[in-house]
A = this chain, B = another copy of it.
Amino acid sequence: MSSNSFGKIFKVTIFGESHGPMIGMVIDGCPAGVEIDEDFIQHELDRRRPGQSKITTQRQEEDRGQIVSGVFQGKTTGTPMAGIILNKDQRSNDYSHIAESFRPSHADFTYQEKYGHRDYRGGGRSSARETAARVFAGAIAKMVLNNFNIKILAYVSSVGDLEMKEDYLKVTEINRKKVESSIVRCPNEIMSKQMIALIESVQKKGDTIGGIISCVISGTPAGLGSPVFDKLHADLGKAMLSINAVKGFQYGAGFKGTRARGSEQNDLFELKKGIVKTKTNFSGGIQGGISNGMDITFQVAFKPVATIMQDQPTLNINSEKMTIKGKGRHDPCVLPRAVPIVEAMAALTLVDHLLRNRSSKL
């Protein structure tokens, strides 16, 4: 059953495999009249692009995004937008060794069980290459949000045991610059250096490492999100958990907040410049599943990449024992390249709820 679409009004459908001719996306439900800046789309794709620094995979993809429908004279027409990215640096023979075997903690086994037939080249559809299509769509979503002054900032807040001590960042151009000036996308300069060193040391051992991305959304009006099943944080959580390698999601006070008392953690209302705000923001900007106008804050846990450059025992598709070792070009740590993906999924979620909210009142 279909599972490659996201969103109810602003609906994104993505397609393509790691080693097919292209990956792409269709956005059905983008309002007409949104100005499209193709340079910005490319800027976003470049942030996710492989080969962007010494700590990412060396697969060379220029990831050139092309819009092929839905934009006329620089503005969206309200009809489906489609975009494609040609795959250029596939080396499918890198993957012949996995045609008949199951890489540990990868999707080879589960796809085989589910479908009985799989494109094993580079993981096929299960490859994180599909996230380029998400970033493409997310760039469009950000352009919609710009019209409403909603801004999103994600950054790497931990790698392994290295953890930023700062509370969540504010969304400012300075902070955005700090994030982007670090190849690991950690805005704390000292921590950034330590993280890079850690990733390099892990990489030398042919190993991989995980971490946490934090994200802040500012400018959201009160009222986004829906009661019961489509709470704003539930949709954000699903969006994040759908990203490859994600193992957890928390917002506001999150897991740590389970240790607190209600009296410590309730966010008291106050009036600031005529606007209802809360003194604290343990709620992470969402109450009862609906945005309250405060910053929305959440964190996303990424596991260490499953592909390691070490021998591992495994089974082949005939259930025979064998040894497997990572080949090809892989990331020792997905966190730096996952930052724009987290932002993209947040943008898609927000735009969808922004449009959904247009029907909440008569």
How far is the CB of A103 from the nearest CB of chain B, in Å?
Answer: 9
How far is the CB of A92 from the nearest CB of chain B, in Å?
Answer: 11
Assess A313 versus B230: contact at CB under 8 Å? Given A111-B288, A207-B262.
Answer: no
Assess A247 versus B258: contact at CB under 8 Å? Given A106-B287, A359-B31.
Answer: yes
A197 within 8 Å of B by Cβ?
no
Instruction: Report Cα–Cα, A158/B11, bound state, in Å.
Output: 38
How far is the CB of A289 from the nearest CB of chain B, in Å?
Answer: 7
Q: Mark A288-317, 1 if CB is under 8 A from B, else 0.
A: 111111000000011111111010111100
Chain B positions within 8 Å of A340 at CB level: none
How far is the CB of A322 from the nearest CB of chain B, in Å?
Answer: 10
Q: How many residues of A contact B (CB 8 A)?
A: 151
Q: Mark A261-294, 1 if CB is under 8 A from B, else 0.
A: 1111111111100101010001110111111110
Contact of A359 among B106, B202, B211, B355 (CB under 8 A): B355
How far is the CB of A143 from the nearest CB of chain B, in Å?
Answer: 10
Say yes or no: A9 contacts B15, CB within 8 Å. no
Contact of A266 among B68, B292, B312 (CB under 8 A): B312
A342 within 8 Å of B by Cβ?
no
Say yes or no: B32 contacts A117, CB within 8 Å. yes
Say yes or no: A222 contacts B110, CB within 8 Å. yes
Chain B positions within 8 Å of A302 at CB level: 258
Number of copies: 4
Chain B positions within 8 Å of A328 at CB level: none
Chain B positions within 8 Å of A274 at CB level: 319
Say yes or no: B33 contacts A362, CB within 8 Å. yes
How far is the CB of A319 from the nearest CB of chain B, in Å?
Answer: 5
Contact of A315 among B20, B242, B266, B276 (CB under 8 A): B276
Instruction: Report Cα–Cα, A238/B231, bound state, in Å.
Output: 9
Q: Mark A9-49, 1 if CB is under 8 A from B, else 0.
A: 11101111100111110101101111000000000000000
A51 within 8 Å of B by Cβ?
no
Chain B positions within 8 Å of A102 at CB level: 269, 276
Contact of A15 among B70, B130, B160, B315 (CB under 8 A): B70
Chain B positions within 8 Å of A214 at CB level: none
Chain B positions within 8 Å of A312 at CB level: 266, 268
Chain B positions within 8 Å of A306 at CB level: 262, 266
A204 within 8 Å of B by Cβ?
no
- 26 A-B pairs in the complex with CB atoms less than 8 angstroms apart: A2-B7, A2-B9, A3-B229, A3-B356, A15-B28, A24-B69, A32-B114, A77-B118, A106-B287, A107-B287, A110-B292, A126-B227, A126-B288, A160-B259, A208-B261, A229-B242, A231-B241, A234-B242, A247-B252, A248-B250, A252-B303, A257-B303, A265-B304, A266-B308, A274-B319, A355-B359
